Amino acid sequence: MAGLKYMSGFGNEFASEDPRCPGSLPEGQNNPQVCPYGLYAEQLSGSAFTCPRSTNKRSWLYRILPSVRHKPFTPMSCGDLTENWNEVEPDPNQLRWKPFIIPKSSEKKVDFISGLHTVCGAGDSKSRNGIAIHMYTCNTSMTDKCFQNADGDFLIVPQQGEILITTEFGKMMVEPNEICVIQQGMRFSVDVFGETRGYILEVFGAHFELPDLGPIGANGMANPRDFQTPVAWYEDRTVATGYTVVNKYQGKLFSCQQDFSPFNVVAWHGNYTPYKYNLENFMVINCVAFDHADPSIFTVLTAKSTRPGVAIADFVIFPPRWGVADHTFRPPYYHRNCMSEFMGLIKGHYEAKEGFQPGGASLHSIMTPHGPDVDCFEKNSTAVLKPERVAEGTMAFMFESSFSMAVTKWGLDTCHRLDKSYYKCWEALKNHFNPNWKPSSK
């Protein structure tokens, strides 16, 4: 969207005020007796007050009316949004979904909230430990309605259709091949411009961070300067017919009414903000000698657990890059993992197997075998190894988690997109064992 501005950086102490109200950001203190322009001061805390300074997250919002002025919350239908991980029996099989169906606007108007569908997850928002993976499929903008997730952070991956997200901090336009993060408690509304689809990774009890670089050094992978945070924007709008605030709380949806827009923040400062990132800016690290490096080298963001090196969830991408490894089977290796691997495809053609389509997904659960299909194995076992571009025009990604994820009834049945023939892509793998093999002379 032309004219939108952003501030650069990850986790910075930002400060912004709408240029229509110069001087609206208080100087020298957070909570003056009387705020400039007669605004209310409201703090949004994303961490406990006593967290170490390096992990302490909060922002101060200076708004026309405070968030507390609303009618009581009442339960509403959750649709296909759920945190019930026991509604169907566990399924350890390799799972793959065809592209999830986007409802036609001519048949039914579906906005971002009513278009949320939970595919899988684990843990519990009440205990602040776990994740959920959702799809959103919608065709209509949210009108006089906003969403607040009291349970955790949303990492949103648009796949089809750009989305204009209005937040209390300002506006963000997020296109396919970009991602955005709306952190816990931040109110937002989504405008769409046609049939729209995407993926959401929700984490409970942690926030996303940049992964440590270790021996890579000070630069590389997702660089902090490439993350963008919106600038202050407000509307002073009375909604006599009622403005709806939808609150996701303990896995359920609730709604309340108020008579004003929640996007009435004239100025704000702090380090607890929404942000977006263009995946094309990822500086790829890859093998330049031999063997296939582990996919952790492609981690964009991580939500850490209390165990060192073990993530609640990692967001990993498989971007266009050079493949140059010598005497190496270059595609992803055959694997059994102590982590769960949920994959999606934004665009293009995934390198390791046929049949994985943009807008679809796959789940390889903990210790479930997976890897290249037979065509990929045969082709790359005999390929002439020379430098070549890999995944050109493609962007696949993975949500990897230490949780053993349960698939919902919608994911296994109601969506009608589960590819029940997925296992067949490995059935034709041959036995190449030769007990008389001898090493070739060099």
Q: 181 and 329: one domain?
A: no
Q: 228 and 334: one domain?
A: no
Q: 386 and 326: one domain?
A: yes
Indicate the number of domains in the chain. Answer: 2
Residue 78 located in a structural domain: yes
- Which position among 70, 207, 292, 364 bears the catalytic label? 292
- Distance CA(291)–CA(293), nearest Å, equals 6
Q: Along the 442 residues of the chain, how does pLDDT read in single tens digits?
A: 568 999 999 999 999 999 999 999 999 999 999 999 999 999 999 999 999 999 999 999 999 999 999 999 999 999 999 999 999 999 999 999 999 999 999 899 999 999 999 999 999 999 999 999 999 999 999 999 999 999 999 999 999 999 999 999 999 999 999 999 999 999 999 999 999 999 999 999 999 999 999 999 999 999 999 999 999 999 999 999 999 999 999 999 999 999 999 999 999 999 999 999 999 999 999 999 999 999 999 999 999 999 999 999 999 999 999 999 999 999 999 999 999 999 999 999 887 677 899 999 999 999 999 999 999 999 999 999 999 999 999 999 999 999 999 999 999 999 999 999 999 999 999 999 999 999 887 6
What's the confidence (pLDDT) of residue 442?
Answer: 60
Q: 258 and 297: one domain?
A: no
CATH code of the domain in which 257 resides: 2.60.120.10
374: enclosing H helix or E strand: helix 374-381
What's the confidence (pLDDT) of residue 355?
Answer: 81
In order of 162, 199, 419, 437, the CA distances from 228 in angstroms are 16, 20, 37, 56
Q: 236 and 342: one domain?
A: no
Q: 243 and 326: one domain?
A: no
What's the confidence (pLDDT) of residue 2?
Answer: 65
CA end-to-end distance (rounded Å), the chain: 60
What is the domain range of residue 289? 282-420
In order of 3, 325, 379, 390, the CA distances from 386 in angstroms are 45, 8, 14, 12
Q: With contact defined as beta carbons under 8 Å apart, do 183 and 156 qualify?
A: no
Extract the tokens encoding 185: 């408690």
What's the confidence (pLDDT) of residue 147?
Answer: 99
Residue 362 located in a structural domain: yes
Annotated active-site residue 292? The verdict is: yes
409: enclosing H helix or E strand: helix 409-409
- Distance CA(179)–CA(315), nearest Å, equals 10
Phi and psi at residue 67, to the nearest 5°: -65, -25
Q: 90 and 138: one domain?
A: yes
Q: Is 202 annotated as a binding residue?
A: no
Q: Is 259 helix (H, G, I), strand (E, B) or coil?
A: strand
Extract the tokens encoding 104: 């036609």
Residues paired with 192 in a beta bridge: 163
Q: 196 and 84: one domain?
A: yes
Q: Is 341 annotated as a binding residue?
A: yes
Residues whose CB is less than 8 angstroms from the CB of residue 285 and which lie 6 or more positions away in sequence, other chains included: 216, 220, 221, 293, 297, 298
Extract the tokens encoding 36: 């400039």
Number of other CB atoms surrounding residue 78 within 10 Å: 17
Q: Is 162 annotated as a binding residue?
A: no
Q: 100 and 236: one domain?
A: yes
